[in-house]
Each structure stands twice: as C-alpha cells, then as structure tokens.
C-alpha cells in the first residue's frame, strides 16, 4: 500500500519561501495511489503495487510523474534549492544479455514531454531538440545500451544529462559497501532490486548519485558532479521517471520512491516494497537429478568425457533471445555443408567485415550467399542481432532478401538469397565479361531508386544504407538491380535526425558534408546514389586513378562537360551510341 507524507505547510512559510521548501512525499509501493501519480505512455501500476514504466514491446515510452509542480528556485535570488530523492528500481531485459534501453529519474518543466522519442532518447527528448538550452530537462539515466552517437561509455552506466542525452558526466554502474572502500560492480540488467539516491547540495553546487543493493545508503557516491542547476531549472518543475524501449526491449520497474526538498530523502526499506515474482526452484527434483547424473557419470566417465570433448568442438550455443528473434536460424553444420566447408572455390567476395560464400542448402538445392563475419570485424554480436532482427524484416523486390542466420561461438553467419549475375561493378568497370545495354542499365537504375525510396520513406522506420555503390548492387537472373549489404545501415524513427561520430562508407561516394559533420542522412545516401548513376552511364569509377588529370574525379569531369554543352561525351563508349539521349540526360 502506497504511503504518502503530506506537505508540511507551516505559518513561517508565508514569510520565508526558502523554509517553505519542505515538500516531501514517500511511496512505499504504488497500490491505491489514484491521482497521486501521473502516468503517460505504456506506464501502469500492477496489482501488487509495482510501477511498470515499460514492458517487452519494442520502441515504446513510459512516464510517471508526481502530479503537482514543485518549487525548485528561490524567487528572490533565482538560486535552485537543494533536493534529495531515493527510489528502488529493477530492469528486466527481454533477452538476458542485451539491454532494451533504460530509465531516467527526471526533473522537467513539463510532465508530458510531448514529442519525445523512444530508443536512445529514453522518452525525454527527440533529434531536433536534443541539446537545446530551452529544454529545461535534467535527468539521471540508468542506461543499458551503448549509443555511440551520444558518446556512451558502455552498455551499463549511470549518466547525468542536462538538456541532452549526451551525458555531462557518466560512470560504469557500481556501488560501495559501508566499511569497505573497494568499488563493487553492478549489472543494471540483472533484474535485481537496486536502490538509488540522488542528492543535490545547492550551497556546494554538487550533485551526488549513490547506488546499493540494500536498504542502507553507502557513505560514498558512485558519481559526483559539480553543477549549478539554477541555470537550467524553471521556478517550478515536475519530478518523476521516464523509460523507453528500442529495437530490443526491457521491463523497467519502480518499487518505491521518496523525495524531499531542502533535506535528506527517506531511504526505502526494500523488504517492505513489492517485488518481481520469480518461479520457485524445485530442490527435490534438482537433488534427484544431480544424484542420477552423478551415478551415470561415474559409470560412463571415460566414454562420456571423450564424447563431450569431440562434441564441444562443433556445439552451437543457443541462448534464450535467439529462439524468437527471426528470421530462420540455420545450423552451422547445414551451412558448412552448403559451402563445402567454406572452400575458397565458393568464395564470392570479401572485405573488412569478412567473406561471402556461394552455397547450396542440402535437400532443397536452394542457392544462397553466406556472409561469414570475421572475428576481427568491428561488427560484434549486438550489431549482428540488430541486422538480422531489423533488416531481416525488410521486404522489397529491389532489396537482397535476408533468408536466415547462424551463430556458433565466435562464428556469425548471415544467409542471403543468391544473385545469379553477381554485382553491378563486374559489368561496368575495366573489362567486363559482357556489356550491359542501355535498357538493362536504365532498368537497374530505376530498381535501385525504388529500393532506396522504400528504405527512406516507405518502411516503418527510416533506414540509412550508408554504403550505396556499384559493388553493393546485385543482379538477379533477369538483371534486376537489388541493393544489398546492410552491414553499415542505421535505423531511425521517421522525422528523427541521425547522429554519429564515425564516418562510414566508400571513398568517392561520401557526401561532402558527411566528412565534415560525420552525420549520415537520407541525403548522403542520395549523394552516393548520384555517384552510382554517373558510374552506370559513364562506365567509370567515381575516382579513376588511370584517367587524365582533368578526368580523375568523375563528378567534376561530368560537370565540366555539362557546362560546355557536351554532356553526351561522358556516355560509356562501349554502348556505341545505342542509348536513349533523353533518358541519359535525365539520369545525368
């Protein structure tokens, strides 16, 4: 049952606004709070009194705020008051080792936070207002996903955010035990009940964040930050919590909450709070199972050990999150057989990510392309999961279809449909095995444009490919163009501006502003597509080292010919004049 301490209003408050700031409330659970808590998004209060901000549904937001505004600044001098809060929370991810974004204790000028986005924005801000001084948003985030665009230190950190999701200060989650100065590591995704204390001392302009797995507050905070919040607070603000899910999801719970102005918030007794129910273990069955297993091992010890040694070499570890991530999961044995043991004779291509092999799936005789990601590649497990869970759901006739995947220890494999005629670059550069007609080239151009439009505007999210080039356009048996290789792709909500700190792509296809800002957009994809158009028409690479100096950079050479009124001189001479001049001019 929620227990709330009413405001202490005394006569002296009428004459001294500072002393008036003794506002205090305590929720020992949230059962029966009624209108004493304001919920938004998917946030709800469960029957046992737990406040559940989000569930295991992807890309959603949950807000919970104290319903009334609280005075945070002294009217006479504009200085922010001291405040203190304590709350107990837990984060239960959908998949044990992969976070589904996070939650934040929030002080905001509004409790609606309208326009805020889920995923890395934690339901606080969006791409257009992130970093604006006028936001008046202060938050302490408990983040379980590392977002490189915001400079996150890892996927298990506590951060102090002021008007932006790029933290002003952050630290790996941890805590101290009283009587011991050794820092203890803390996994925010463990599902354990964690108590957090956030204390702001106005006189010292100091903010401290303290964590613990117990009801007792440690002497040492895990994070301290010197800041004058007077610069960022309005006179009255709302206090509460915000949480969001992203491509993967987590359930974010608040079990209890206390808050106090100009004083120390009451620590929560974790034993008196509601908790997440967990299935009880059957110790009898466990004991019996262990006894039987021990007996079997004793009898067949030598044979079992030899068998296990041989078996472990080719075992496939299947974790809970892999059972329903989709699309189809292939066995490693199946793909090894399909590619004839990943023989060099089946190699279709290679790059920094690894190698691509041709294969034939046993029993079905289906031809596939198997992308085997190198263990040295920067594309790790999280990026691998993102690609198969998101790109695997794309469906368009001009995109290479992802058919399935496989994971065995360090091996990460993605299976695509096989494109009979290989990549476009094999037909337009150097000495191709055959010359594409203008009709074939124009059809390929229109196909890739259709696929790119789908990625940018027609799918449920905006997909920025980031590596549009001739080598990533695959040709099927009818020479239809299919855009492939989504290893660098980024997904964003529609209307959200992409942010990154690492320039990715291929030289000659990079938009000029991309190398300056490091910010990929649909426009940078369109620039790369423009370079592709010039390649297809001219039969040359964007940068041709063997060309005359004035013809070295393709786009500059074409532009000069355009200004001279001789644009048709850039058309691939191997076409021998067999093209539609109007179509060529339109493309150029």
Q: What pTM value is reported for the model? A: 0.57
Residue linked to tokens 């786009």: 555
Rounded Cα distance between 79 and 76, Å, is 8
443 marked among binding-site residues: no
pLDDT tens sequence for the chain (588 residues): 444 443 444 343 433 433 444 489 999 999 999 899 999 999 999 999 999 999 988 889 999 999 999 999 998 999 999 999 999 999 999 877 778 899 999 999 999 998 898 888 999 998 888 899 999 999 999 999 888 778 899 889 999 999 999 999 999 999 999 877 889 999 999 999 999 999 999 999 999 999 999 999 999 999 999 999 999 999 999 999 999 998 778 999 999 999 999 999 999 999 999 998 764 444 555 455 555 565 656 666 565 545 444 544 455 555 554 554 555 678 888 888 889 888 888 888 775 567 889 998 887 778 888 888 766 554 556 556 656 666 777 888 898 888 888 877 667 888 888 888 888 888 888 778 788 999 999 999 999 999 999 988 888 888 888 888 888 899 988 899 999 877 667 776 776 666 654 555 555 566 666 656 667 788 888 888 988 998 888 888 877 766 666 677 788 888 888 888 888 988 888 888 888 888 888 887
The two tokens of residue 179 are 């009587």
Q: How many CB atoms lie within 10 A of CB 322?
A: 16
Backbone angles phi, psi at 475, to 5 degrees: -115, 125
Residues in the chain: 588
Element spanning 61, H or E: strand 61-65
Residues labelled as active-site residues: 467
Element spanning 84, H or E: strand 83-93
Backbone angles phi, psi at 128, to 5 degrees: -80, -30
Q: How many CA atoms lie within 13 A of 48 on its CB side?
A: 11
DSSP assignment string, 26-60: EESS-TT-GGGSEEEET-EE-TTS-EEEE-S-SS-
Q: How many CB atoms lie within 10 A of CB 127?
A: 17
Q: How many CB atoms lie within 10 A of CB 308?
A: 11
């Amino acid at each position: 049952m929620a227990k709330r301490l009413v405001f202490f209003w005394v006569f002296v408050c009428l004459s001294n606004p500072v002393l008036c700031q003794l506002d205090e409330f305590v929720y020992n659970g949230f059962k029966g709070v009624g209108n004493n808590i304001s919920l938004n998004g998917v946030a709800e209060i469960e029957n046992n009194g737990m406040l559940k901000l989000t569930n295991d549904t992807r890309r959603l937001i949950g807000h919970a705020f104290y319903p009334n505004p609280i005075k945070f600044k002294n009217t006479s001098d504009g200085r922010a008051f001291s405040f203190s809060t304590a709350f107990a929370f837990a984060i239960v991810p959908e998949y044990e080792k992969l976070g589904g974004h996070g939650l934040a204790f929030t002080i905001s000028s509004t409790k609606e936070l309208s326009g805020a986005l889920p995923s890395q924005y934690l339901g606080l801000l969006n791409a257009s207002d992130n970093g604006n001084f006028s936001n008046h948003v202060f938050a302490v985030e408990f983040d379980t996903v590392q977002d490189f665009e915001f400079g996150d230190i890892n996927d298990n950190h506590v951060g102090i955010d002021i008007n932006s999701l790029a933290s002003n200060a952050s630290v790996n989650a941890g805590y101290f035990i009283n009587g011991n100065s050794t820092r203890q590591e803390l996994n925010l995704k463990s599902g354990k009940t964690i108590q957090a204390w956030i204390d702001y001392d106005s006189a010292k302009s100091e903010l401290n964040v303290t964590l613990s797995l117990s009801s007792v507050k440690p002497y040492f905070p895990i994070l301290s930050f010197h800041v004058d919040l007077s610069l960022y607070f309005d006179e009255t603000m709302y206090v509460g919590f915000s949480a969001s899910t992203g491509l993967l999801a987590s359930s974010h719970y608040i079990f209890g909450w206390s808050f106090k102005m100009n004083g120390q918030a009451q620590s929560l007794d974790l034993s008196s709070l509601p908790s997440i129910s967990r299935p009880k273990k059957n110790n009898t069955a466990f004991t019996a199972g262990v006894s039987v297993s021990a007996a079997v091992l004793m009898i067949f010890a030598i044979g079992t050990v030899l068998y296990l040694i041989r078996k472990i070499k080719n075992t496939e570890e299947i974790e809970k999150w892999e059972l329903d991530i989709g699309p189809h999961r292939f066995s490693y044995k199946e793909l090894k057989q399909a590619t004839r043991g990943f023989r060099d004779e089946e190699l279709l291509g290679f790059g920094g990510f690894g190698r691509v092999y041709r294969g034939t799936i046993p029993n079905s005789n289906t031809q596939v392309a198997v992308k085997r990601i190198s263990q040295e590649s920067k594309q790790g497990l999280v990026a691998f999961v993102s690609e198969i869970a998101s790109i695997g759901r794309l469906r368009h006739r001009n995109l290479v279809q992802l058919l399935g995947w496989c994971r065995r220890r360090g091996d990460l494999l993605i299976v695509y449909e096989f494109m009979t005629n290989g990549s476009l670059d094999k037909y337009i550069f150097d000495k191709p095995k055959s010359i594409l007609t203008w009709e074939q080239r124009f059809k390929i151009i229109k196909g890739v444009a259709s696929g790119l439009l789908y990625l940018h505007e027609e799918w449920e999210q905006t997909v920025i490919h980031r590596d549009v080039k001739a080598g990533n356009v695959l040709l099927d048996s009818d020479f239809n163009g299919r855009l492939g290789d989504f290893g660098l792709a980024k997904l964003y909500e529609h209307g959200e501006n992409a942010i990154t700190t690492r320039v990715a792509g291929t030289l000659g296809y990079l938009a000029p502003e991309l190398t300056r800002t490091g910010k990929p957009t649909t426009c940078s994809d369109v620039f790369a597509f423009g370079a592709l158009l010039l390649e297809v028409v001219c039969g040359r690479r964007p940068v041709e080292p063997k060309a005359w100096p004035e013809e070295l950079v393709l786009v500059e050479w074409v532009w000069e010919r355009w200004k001279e009124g001789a644009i048709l001189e850039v058309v691939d001479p191997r076409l021998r004049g067999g093209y539609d001049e109007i179509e060529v001019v339109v493309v150029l």
